[in-house]
Amino acid sequence: MLNIRPFIEDQDEPVYIDILNRAMAEFSDFTPMTLTDAEIEKNAPNIDKQGRFIAEWRGVAAGYVYAYLDTKREDKLGFLDGPFVIPEFCRNHIGTALAELAFKSFQERGINKYEAGARNTNIPAQKFVEKLGFKMYRVFSRMKHALSEIPENVGENKDVVIKDIGTDDEALKLENALLNEAMKEHFNFRPVTLEETKYYTREQQKQGVRYNDFVAYVNDVPAGLMITSIDPKEIEHQQKKVAWLSVLGVLKPYRSQGIGKALMIHAMKFLKGKGMDEAMLGVDDTNITKPMKIYESLGFEVVFKFYRYLKES
Ligand SMILES: CC(C)(COP(=O)(O)OP(=O)(O)OC[C@H]1O[C@@H](n2cnc3c(N)ncnc32)[C@H](O)[C@@H]1OP(=O)(O)O)[C@@H](O)C(=O)NCCC(=O)NCCS
């Protein structure tokens, strides 16, 4: 009844997209994937194309998994992307069979440590990864804030100069350098190459995503970075004017001076000026630099938690 076969590039993309979109349809904030998104993923500079499988149940495509290996990481950590099983085929151990094949694929590439993720509201996924022997090891939060009222006088630095630096090649070079410096202690972070920064920004811009890079300057020296993004596809799907505060980073010597709050408030005002109603962000709850404290002090609320799990074999 069950046949699992390798993913065939330039043929299976529509099959994969259909499985993914149907498996994730119950999550209203999940924006369906398009063929163009799959193309962007496929041509990305850090992609390892091995480890993708399609499960067929009685000859019908029913599930997908990707044993993803980031080729630029040095720590030999794999990421289990999925499995995704179309709801009508769930509870037939298709997910388990796909995951086991993914583990085998990792092991063949010398990887014995894998990560998986599940949000707190996704009980099937939690039970599923626990049964596979994963242990929860980190918690993240998705947070939101209505832009109707933007807080002020909450300890933000009022002397820092914040500029929108644009997104030309020079700007992306500065963005990349600030990101890598500010994020280096971040959980699971690995330096992002300039090639990747340019690739993802340019490809998303071609899709109509609007990016803005804001840099905070202290005495003309870059001290912090905020990246905002507005995705028309997401707005259309959600029927809500939502935007992202995608990255916030302040360089170490400039921390605890209200620069992070100043960048947040500046970006929220900017997004409101663009007609957005809500700002969202993702945060690592136990980040040692405690960004969650900034977000809470600005009135952000948790939408859901995202658990990260680890398994070693
Ligand atoms: C999570 C998912 C992949 C499971 O796929 P599946 O083929 O139904 O899973 P299996 O049949 O192999 O289930 C294996 C075990 O997981 C647990 N499990 C799976 N679905 C469950 C559910 N709805 N409720 C409780 N436990 C569940 C059970 O322990 C199950 O074993 P059992 O059936 O012997 O009791 C599927 O529900 C899915 O695609 N969800 C949406 C996408 C997603 O969240 N993927 C991320 C996975 S980390």
CA of 308 relative to ligand 1 center, distance in Å? 16
- Nearest by Cα to 27 from 130, 125, 146: 125
Nearest residue by C-alpha to atom 44 in ligand 1:
125
pLDDT value of residue 287: 83
pLDDT digits (tens, 9 = 90+) for 184-194: 988 889 999 99
Residue 306 contacts residue 114 (beta carbons within 8 Å): no
pLDDT value of residue 203: 95
Last residue of a domain, one of 111, 134, 157: 111
Supply φ then ψ for residue 181, to 5 degrees: -75, -45
| Residue 126 belongs to a domain | no
* SS3 of residue 231 by DSSP: coil
131: its two tokens? 């049964």
pLDDT surpassing 90 at residue 290: no
Nearest residue by C-alpha to atom 28 in ligand 1:
128
CA of 3 relative to ligand 1 center, distance in Å? 18
Q: Does residue 80 share a domain with residue 187? A: no
Last residue of a domain, one of 111, 127, 161: 111
User: Terminal CA-to-CA distance of the chain, rounded, Å?
Assistant: 28
Q: Does residue 164 share a domain with residue 81? A: no
| Residue 174 belongs to a domain | yes
Q: Does residue 158 share a domain with residue 295? A: yes
Averaged pLDDT for residues 117-144: 96
Q: Does residue 149 share a domain with residue 103? A: no
Q: Does residue 197 share a domain with residue 282? A: yes
Residues with Cβ < 8 Å from 118, sequence gap 6 or more? Answer: 125, 126, 128, 129, 306, 307, 309
CA of 148 relative to ligand 1 center, distance in Å? 40
Q: Does residue 21 share a domain with residue 105? A: yes
CB atoms within 10 A of CB 161: 12
CA of 91 relative to ligand 1 center, distance in Å? 6
Q: Does residue 291 share a domain with residue 206? A: yes
Q: Does residue 165 share a domain with residue 81? A: no
> In terms of residue numbers, what domain contains 156?
143-305
pLDDT value of residue 46: 84
Residue 223 contacts residue 192 (beta carbons within 8 Å): no
pTM of the complete model: 0.93
Supply φ then ψ for residue 143, to 5 degrees: -125, 155
Counting residues of the chain whose pLDDT is more than 70, the rounded percentage is 100
Last residue of a domain, one of 111, 134, 162: 111
| Residue 184 belongs to a domain | yes
CA of 132 relative to ligand 1 center, distance in Å? 10
- Give residues (CB < 6 A) around ligand 1: 23-24, 82-85, 90-96, 116, 118, 122-125, 127-129, 131
**Would you say the C-alpha torsion 15, 18, 24, 29 has a positive or negative sign?**
positive
Q: Does residue 150 share a domain with residue 107? A: no
Q: Does residue 105 share a domain with residue 52? A: yes
Nearest residue by C-alpha to atom 12 in ligand 1:
93
CA of 100 relative to ligand 1 center, distance in Å? 13
State the Cα torsion 229-84-62-52 to the nearest 10°. 90
Q: What is the position in ligand 1's atom list of the atom closest to the CA of 129?
A: 48
Q: Does residue 149 share a domain with residue 38? A: no
| Residue 58 belongs to a domain | yes
Residues with Cβ < 8 Å from 13, sequence gap 6 or more? Answer: 35, 38, 39, 42
pLDDT surpassing 90 at residue 165: yes
Burial class, 248, CB count within 10 angstroms (exposed 0-12 / middle 13-18 / buried 19+)? buried
- Nearest by Cα to 208 from 234, 179, 190: 234
CB atoms within 10 A of CB 196: 15
pLDDT digits (tens, 9 = 90+) for 267-285: 999 999 999 999 999 999 9
Average pLDDT value for the chain? 95
Long-range contacts of 85-89 (CB under 8 A, 24+ apart): 85/19, 85/23, 85/55, 86/19, 86/22, 86/23, 86/62, 87/22, 87/23, 87/25, 87/26, 89/57, 89/60, 89/62, 89/63
pLDDT band at 288 (very low <50, low <70, confident <90, very high): confident
Q: Does residue 276 share a domain with residue 151? A: yes
> Which CATH number covers residue 78?
3.40.630.30
Q: What is the position in ligand 1's atom list of the atom closest to the CA of 94?
A: 7
pLDDT value of residue 32: 96
Question: What pairs with residue 143 in β-bridges?
Answer: 281, 302
| Residue 128 belongs to a domain | no
Residue type, 60: V
pLDDT surpassing 90 at residue 64: yes
Domain count, the chain: 2
pLDDT digits (tens, 9 = 90+) for 35-53: 999 999 989 988 888 999 9
